[in-house]
């Protein structure tokens, strides 16, 4: 029997609906292979300008939308990659096979994201882009896109990419906290760790036996005891070392970064395990807007809090953010001064929230490289200072930068800085303007 136009339209509609239901994400790895093609090509010449041109043509011009997003968020120019490769040649040779192994991990990533769609019916579309960046970000998001800097996170593990993709993809599904306090942000980040564990079907303490989740499970009581001292704090320069590196916390004689993630993981795991409807629990976690009071309510509902501390958690007052201290906060240009023919980067020692062995400046003017020669700051009385000639910068341009402690702890701009800009992933950088 010859099909009618109505029948054809019906089947086309069913096919379209089926495709829309399954094609909700895509994993892009082209930037990895393009980078190594460019890398091999620049080895054939010692001419710096030719190398920059090759990187432009073979990497940047052929780059995915994800690479260009990454460049917008974290910086990146052919000149930066040329300098990065020149400075870190040994590193690139070492990580090359690790970054290329992501091509073999796409099936496992697909499996995890398919499971995400199953456990969370309101799963939102998104794409994953693997890139080679300039050494300043392992993973971030921009809208519905996950952007992975393979040169930072790639390692010898055959599945190194899977957990970080799951973690970052969770962020694309969450409601970003509106609270500036430690509790909300710890739950937000710990949730991404916990749900990523559900998606990969392997405990994080097994995958990363020396990581913050494993440490949090082993030292749960001691971490909670210390966390209570900070639970009411506002951001205050990187959450007092509980999140995003920045010095870490010392628990039972061991200093560990990102224990806010670890504690947030334990809170979310307790919430999930104490919920009879697991899919409803996932939905509640992902759709809750973590204001201060929503974070408190979630913590109490999770069942994580010891009985002896329930009254404390119920009654403590969140400390006001600096703008609400009862007087208008005076906004200032922070982090640098123009003095004669020099640019003087400066930060008060008391604004560095922990002891440091090395403090440096990293920004768009030095490839975001905290180890770059000539950018280490020196302590002078109550300040750390670095003076550079104005001729190192182009008049009329603006440059983003941050202060970096011990080569890996990136200090956040304080609330009084009127020269801070937030990027699309919520990260703030200081801005040097000529």
pLDDT digits over 91-102, tens only? Answer: 999 999 999 999
Alpha helices in 323-429 (DSSP H): none
Q: pLDDT higher for 410 or 323?
A: 410
pLDDT exceeds 50 at position 341: yes
Supply 14's token pair. 């069913």
- The tens digit of pLDDT for each residue in 68-89 reads 988 887 777 899 899 899 988 9
Percent of the chain with pLDDT over 90: 56
Question: Which architecture does CATH list for 336-433?
Answer: Sandwich (2.60)
pLDDT of residue 362: 93
Longest Cα pair distance anywhere in the chain, in angstroms? 91
Residue 170's closest CA among 141, 208, 137, 206? Answer: 141
Given pLDDT bands bounded at 50, 70 and 90, which one contains residue 235? low
Which pLDDT belongs to residue 15? 41
For residue 354, name the pLDDT band (cuts at 50, 70, 90): low
Mean pLDDT in residue range 257-285 = 96
CA distance 75 to 363: 8
- Mean pLDDT computed over 235-243: 68
Q: How far apart are CA 304 and CA 110, in angstroms?
A: 32
Looking at every residue in the chain, the average pLDDT score rounds to 86
Using the predicted structure, report yes or no on whether residue 328 has a pLDDT greater than 70. Answer: no
For residue range 107-118, what is the model confidence (pLDDT) as tens digits?
999 999 999 999
Q: Does the pLDDT of residue 163 top 50, yes or no?
A: yes
SS3 of 26, please?
strand
Q: pTM for this one?
A: 0.69
Tens of pLDDT, residues 298-327: 999 999 999 999 999 999 988 876 554 444
Indicate the burial class of 324 (C-beta count within 10 angstroms; 0-12, 13-18, 19 or more).
Answer: exposed
Which pLDDT score, from 0 to 100, does residue 205 have? 92
Stretch 204-210: mean pLDDT, rounded? 90
pLDDT exceeds 60 at position 21: no
* 237 vs 207, residue with greater confidence: 207
Q: In the numeric block, which tokens belong to residue 66?
A: 């994800």
Sorting pLDDT into bands at 50, 70 and 90, what band is 9? very low
334, 226 contact by CB (below 8 A): no
Look at residues 33, 74, 64, 4 and name the one whose alpha carbon lies nearest to residue 429. 74
pLDDT for 20 equals 39
- The answer to which of 20-24, 134-138, 163-167, 305-309 has the lowest mean pLDDT is 20-24
pLDDT at position 189 over 90 = yes
- Angle at alpha carbon of residue 95, lines to 93 and 100, rounded to 5°: 105
Which pLDDT score, from 0 to 100, does residue 427 have? 64
Q: Which helix H or strand E contains 256, and what residues bound it?
A: strand 254-256
How many Å apart are CA 421 and CA 430, to the nearest integer? 6
Tokens representing 282 are: 């996932």
- Say what the pLDDT of residue 396 is: 77
Task: State the Cα–Cα distance between residues 213 and 225, nearest whole angstrom.
Answer: 17
pLDDT of residue 238: 52
14 confidence band (pLDDT: 50, 70, 90): very low
What is the per-residue pLDDT for 357?
A: 83
Task: Kindly list the distances between the CA atom of residue 399 and the CA atoms of 123, 363, 368, 415, in Å, as whole numbers in the listed order.
Answer: 37, 7, 11, 19
Which residues, listed in sequence order, are joined to residue 360 by a DSSP beta bridge?
A: 376, 404
Name the segment(s) of the chain with CATH classification 2.60.40.10.
336-433
Q: What is the distance between the alpha carbons of residues 196 and 116, in angstroms, rounded to a whole number?
A: 9
Cα distance between residue 43 and residue 45, in whole Å? 6
Residue 192: the pLDDT is 95
* Distance, C-alpha 238 to centroid of its chain: 13
Eight-state DSSP code of residue 418: S
Asked if the model's pLDDT at residue 416 lies above 90, the reply is: no
Q: Which two tokens stand for residue 5?
A: 């136009």
Q: What is the pLDDT of residue 268?
A: 97
Q: Taking a C-beta distance cutoff of 8 angstroms, is the pair 110, 22 a contact?
A: no
For residues 3 and 97, what is the distance between their CA atoms, to the nearest angstrom?
Answer: 53
């Amino acid at each position: 029997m010859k099909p009618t136009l109505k029948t054809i339209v019906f089947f086309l509609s069913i096919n379209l609906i089926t495709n829309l239901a399954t094609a909700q994400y895509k994993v892009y790895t082209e930037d990895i292979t393009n980078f190594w093609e460019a890398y091999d090509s620049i080895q054939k010449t010692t001419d710096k300008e030719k190398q920059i041109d090759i990187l432009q043509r073979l990497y940047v011009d052929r780059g995915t939308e994800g690479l260009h997003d990454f460049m917008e968020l974290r910086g990146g120019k052919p000149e930066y990659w040329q300098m990065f490769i020149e400075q870190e040649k040994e590193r690139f040779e070492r990580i090359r096979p690790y970054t290329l192994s992501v091509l073999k991990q796409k099936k496992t990533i697909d499996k995890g994201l398919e499971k995400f769609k199953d456990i969370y019916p309101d799963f939102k579309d998104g794409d994953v882009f693997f890139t080679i960046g300039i050494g300043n970000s392992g993973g971030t998001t921009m809208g519905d896109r996950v952007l992975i800097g393979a040169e930072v996170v790639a390692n010898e593990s055959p599945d190194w990419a899977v957990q970080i993709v799951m973690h970052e993809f969770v962020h694309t599904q969450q409601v970003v906290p509106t609270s500036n306090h430690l509790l909300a942000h710890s739950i937000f980040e710990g949730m991404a760790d916990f749900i990523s564990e559900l998606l990969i079907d392997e405990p994080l303490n097994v995958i990363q036996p020396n990581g913050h989740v494993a440490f949090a499970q082993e030292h749960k009581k001691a971490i909670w005891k210390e966390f209570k001292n900070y639970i009411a704090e506002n951001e205050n320069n990187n959450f007092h070392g509980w999140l995003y590196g920045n010095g870490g916390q010392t628990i039972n004689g061991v200093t560990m970064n990102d224990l806010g993630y670890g504690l947030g993981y334990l809170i979310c795991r307790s919430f999930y395990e104490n919920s009879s409807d697991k899919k409803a629990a996932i939905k509640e976690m992902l759709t809750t807007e973590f204001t201060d009071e929503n974070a408190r309510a979630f913590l109490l509902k999770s069942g994580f809090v010891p009985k002896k501390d329930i009254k404390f958690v119920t009654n403590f007052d969140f400390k006001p953010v600096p703008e609400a201290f009862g007087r208008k906060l005076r906004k200032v240009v922070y982090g640098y001064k123009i003095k004669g023919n020099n640019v003087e980067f400066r930060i008060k020692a008391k604004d560095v929230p922990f002891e440091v062995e090395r403090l440096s400046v990293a920004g768009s003017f030095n490839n975001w490289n905290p180890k770059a020669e000539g950018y280490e700051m020196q302590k002078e009385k109550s300040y750390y200072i670095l003076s550079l000639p104005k001729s190192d910068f182009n008049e009329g341009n603006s440059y983003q930068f941050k202060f970096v402690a011990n080569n890996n702890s990136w200090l956040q701009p304080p609330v009084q800085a009127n020269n801070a800009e937030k990027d699309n992933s919520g990260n703030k950088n200081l801005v040097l303007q000529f």
